Amino acid sequence: MLDVKEIEVSKLKPWEDNPRFNDHAVDSVAKSIQTFGFNVPILYDQNFTIIAGHTRWKAAQKLGMTHVPAIMLDLNDSQRKAFSVADNKLASLADWDEELVTKILEELKFENFDLSSLGYSEAELEALMAPLQDFNWEESNDYLTKEMETINAVLQFKIKLALKDQVLTAIKQYALKRGMKEKDSAVLAGNVLCHLLGVNL
């Protein structure tokens, strides 16, 4: 049976090589802890290095908590690294039934539950709960056709480094003389090249 203990937040150490970026999630997890309590213990090894629960640990610090529930796992270094990666990766493999999620969110909203504590951004909640509309494929095709006409391609050219400033100056002067204006210097250079080659813009 797992032994859950209340451990001092200051005793725990993050895994310095943790490949998971989690700072953006700390506020949401802190909000969840305030709403539901600290219900998922942090896992740490015999050296007090966190194996799983870095975001919860940071959220606890943000909330000024002095102790958190935690479980010590006796693992060697390789096992600790592998478990930490697996814990994060396996959690991301599951898919959501968006219709059911939306139904649950609507029920919670009707009950005046604070949906911001669930980890969704405002944009995600709006997208999930927006009324369904018929998709207009004809309008979409027209839009894509117009977009293709404005999308830029990046072509690579090489010149000697010593000529770089001269070429940039020549491009600007050529464009200025012909009234060619463009905020993006790369697009301006492309327009000048097309003009020199006789390619219609």
Band of residue 51 on the pLDDT scale cut at 50, 70, 90: very high
CATH number for the domain running over 4-91: 3.90.1530.10
Q: What would the mean pLDDT of 74-84 be, rounded to a whole number?
A: 89
> In the predicted model, is pLDDT for residue 201 greater than 90?
no
> Does pTM surpass 0.95?
no
Please, where in the chain does CATH 3.90.1530.10 lie?
4-91
> In the predicted model, is pLDDT for residue 30 greater than 90?
yes
> In the predicted model, is pLDDT for residue 57 greater than 80?
yes
Q: Percent of the chain at pLDDT above 70?
A: 90
11-44: b (≥16 Cβ within 10 Å) or e = ebeebeebeeebeebbebbbbbbeeeebeebbbb
Biggest CA–CA distance in the chain, Å, is 81
Higher pLDDT, 99 or 201: 99
Provide the token pair at 92: 């991301």
Band of residue 32 on the pLDDT scale cut at 50, 70, 90: very high
Contact between 159 and 169 (Cβ < 8 Å): no
Higher pLDDT, 122 or 9: 9
Distance in angstroms (rounded) separating the CA atoms of residues 64 and 33 = 12
3-class secondary structure, 198: coil
- What single string gives the DSSP state of each residue in 97-140? -HHHHHHHHHHHHHTT--GGGGT--HHHHHHHHSPP----HHHH
> In the predicted model, is pLDDT for residue 62 greater than 70?
yes
Per-residue pLDDT, 120: 81
Q: What would the mean pLDDT of 148-159 be, rounded to a whole number?
A: 71
Per-residue pLDDT, 132: 63
Per-residue pLDDT, 65: 96
Strands of 50-52's sheet, edge to edge?
A: 4-8, 67-72, 42-44, 50-52
